[in-house]
Amino acid sequence: MTSLEDLPIRDDLRGKSPYGAPQKHVRIELNVNENTHPIPEPVARDIIESLARAILTINRYPDREFSQLRDGLAEYLGQGLTRDNIWAANGSNEILQQIMQAFGGPGRSILGFPPTYSMHSIIASGTGTTWIGAERDADFEISPSTAVAAIREHDPDIVIFCSPNNPTGTPLSLETIEAAYDATDKIVIVDEAYAEFAPAGAPSALTLLPGRPRLIVSRTMSKAFAFAGARLGYLAADPAIADALRLVRLPYHLSSLTQAAAVAALQHSAEMLAMVDDIAHERDRIVERLTELGYHPWPTWSNFVLFGGVENPSEVFETLLEKGIIIRDLGIPGHLRVSAGTHAETTAFLDAMAALS
Q: Could you report the per-residue pLDDT of 29-50, keeping only the tens digit for each? A: 999 999 988 899 999 999 999 9
Cβ contact 161:189 at 8 Å: yes
Q: What is the pLDDT of residues 193-207, one digit of tens each?
A: 999 999 999 999 999
Per-residue pLDDT, 15 = 82
Mean pLDDT to the nearest integer, 150-177: 98
Cβ contact 193:223 at 8 Å: yes
Q: What is the pLDDT of residues 100-133, one digit of tens each?
A: 999 999 999 999 999 999 999 999 999 999 999 9
Helix, strand or coil for residue 69? helix
pLDDT at 3 over 80: yes
Model pTM score: 0.94
Per-residue pLDDT, 268 = 94
DSSP output for 273-328 = HHHHHHHHHHHHHHHHHHHHTT-EEPP-SSSEEEEE--S-HHHHHHHHHHTTEE-B
Highest mean pLDDT among 107-111, 227-231, 353-357: 107-111
Per-residue pLDDT, 2 = 86
Strand pairing of 325-326 and 304-308? unpaired
Greatest C-alpha distance within the chain: 59
Element (H, E) at 241: helix 239-246
Contacting residues for 74 by C-beta, under 8 A, at least 6 apart: 81, 82, 83, 85, 86, 236
d(CA 309, CA 303): 20
Per-residue pLDDT, 24 = 76
Per DSSP, 201 falls in state: T
Query: 14: pLDDT confidence band, cut at 50, 70 and 90?
Result: confident
Closest CA to 320 of 35, 33, 30, 34: 30
Per DSSP, 331 falls in state: S
Listed as own residue / partner, the contacts of 331-335 with beta carbons closer than 8 Å and 24 or more positions apart are: 332/115, 332/167, 332/306, 334/308, 334/309, 334/310, 335/306, 335/307, 335/308, 335/310
pLDDT at 13 over 70: yes
Query: Which of 17-21, 233-237, 270-274, 302-306 is predicted with the least confidence, judged by mean pLDDT?
Result: 17-21
pLDDT at 186 over 80: yes
Query: 16: pLDDT confidence band, cut at 50, 70 and 90?
Result: confident
Query: 21: pLDDT confidence band, cut at 50, 70 and 90?
Result: low
d(CA 196, CA 219): 10
Please list, residue by residue across 324-342, b when 16 or more beta carbons sit within 10 angstroms of its beta carbon and e when fewer do. ebbbbbbebeebbbbbbbb
State what percent of residues in the chain have pLDDT above 70.
99
Per-residue pLDDT, 67 = 97
d(CA 306, CA 312): 15
Cβ contact 221:192 at 8 Å: no
CB atoms within 10 A of CB 110: 27
pLDDT at 183 over 80: yes
